[in-house]
Amino acid sequence: MKRIYWLLLVLAVVIGVASWVLFGRPLAEHKGYVLIALQGFRYESSLWAFVALLLALWLLVYLVRLSLRLLVTSGRLLNPWSALHKGRRERLASEQGFLDLAEGRWSPALRHLKRAAGSSPQPLNYYLGAARAAHQLGQHEDSDGLLEQALEQQPQAELAIALQHAELQLARGQTDAALDTLEAMRARHPHHPLVLAQLQQRYLQSANWSALVGLLPDLRKDKVLGNAELSELERQAWRGRLLQAGQPVDGDAQAALVSLQQTWKTMPSARRQEPGLLAVYAEQLRQLGAEAEAEELLRNCLKQHYDVALVRLYGLLRGRDLGRQLQAAEGWLKQHPEDAGLLLTLGRLCLHSQLWGKAKDYLESSLAFQRHPETCTELARLLAQLGELERSNGLYQEGLHLLDARLCAPIG
């Protein structure tokens, strides 16, 4: 309408200018004549009086429209059910709902957020907040129902909804259901960092070492964890996997041994060189009766990299050739003459070979460098066998005292 008003104004100006140019005097001097006759109605006036009447009518219509618009606007301000007030109520409900949720007022949070979700074109956050509030109230079915409504309203937000669903399921103790939810999301979003991170935490908490080992390549590829954290997680996963594989099922030690050996072969070669994992594998082999295999493995490893923990374990193993085993350990003594653990190992190997004198010398040398309960016990047994009962009893008492002191020592 504004364009029409401006057009009429411009037209009037153009007519005025044209009159001046054509007639040499202002248009106002040409009074003109207007006559309107229609079925008994007759109107006549000068042209300018008719133009003034039109302008007056236009002004009257404009004022009436302006008054009506002001009346409608004031009505919206005063009417509590108007669209203006409806939007304000929705905004207040959402703000109050999130505030209640943050401060732990679950019932009002649920009420406010459900109201905001029902009227918002983008209700996802309101549904998620309401579902969390319902969960805190113990209304688990309502919580799941709100998440389903969120999915119906915004199917493109499936991942965000599923992640919260898994979190709530876990909080309810529904561990298997939470894992199913996360694994379904991994199938649809295989490289999403948050899905992988939550799966890693669930596998770790449930000691699902096989699944965690299978997840490691994706964690590395998608850089979900830092290098140091990922390395430690990989070490922990393989340690757990070895311990799990070495547990006999229904007393079948042979099957457990085969499973353990296969697990070891599937490990990355760099991990097979780590002393900690080598110790776990060798100990599992020892417990399953494969001491000769464990002895050969540790002997070859210790030739390359000397490790105190592996040396101590080596003394508990009986290899195929006890003489060769003892000779290998004595060779290490040349480089590590004051290693109490190595001396304990040598004493044990001499005991295996029934070399009582050498065993006694090695065990006493070990105690000279370190008073250790294991060394005390080994020497006490040997002395009892040799008839030195008084000293044997003293070493037993010392070993118990050392062990008790270790057990009672404060952690950290």
What confidence category does residue 412 fall into, taking pLDDT thresholds of 50, 70 and 90?
very low
pLDDT at residue 384 is higher than 70: yes
Q: What is the predicted pLDDT for the residue at 21?
A: 46
What is the domain range of residue 10?
A: 2-68
Considering the domain boundaries, does residue 187 fall inside one?
A: no
Residue 77 has pLDDT above 50, yes or no: no
Per residue in 235-260, pLDDT (tens digit) is 999 999 999 999 988 888 999 999 99
End-to-end CA distance of the chain: 84
With both helix axes pointing from N to C terminus, report the angle between 175-188 and 193-205 in degrees, rounded to the nearest 10: 150
Q: Look at residue 56 in the predicted model and tell me its pLDDT.
A: 75
Least confident of 6-10, 340-344, 402-406: 6-10
| Structural domain count, the chain | 1
Residue 138 lies in a domain: no
3-class secondary-structure state, position 89:
helix
Is position 32 within any domain?
yes
Domain assignment present for 7: yes
Average pLDDT rounded to a whole number, residues 130-141:
93
Write out pLDDT tens, residues 115-128.
888 878 888 999 99
Joined together, the tokens standing for residue 38 give 């229609």
DSSP states of 59-84 as a string? HHHHHHHHHHHHHHHHHHHH-TTSHH
Residue 217 in this model has a pLDDT that exceeds 80? yes
pLDDT of residue 408: 61
In a domain, 17, yes or no: yes
| pLDDT over 90 percentage in the chain | 65
Q: Tell which wins on pLDDT, 33 or 362.
A: 362
Asked whether residue 63 is assigned to any structural domain, the reply reads yes
- Position 272 in a domain: no
27 belongs to a structural domain: yes
Tens of pLDDT, residues 140-158: 999 999 999 999 999 999 9
Pairing state between β 34-38 and 41-45: antiparallel
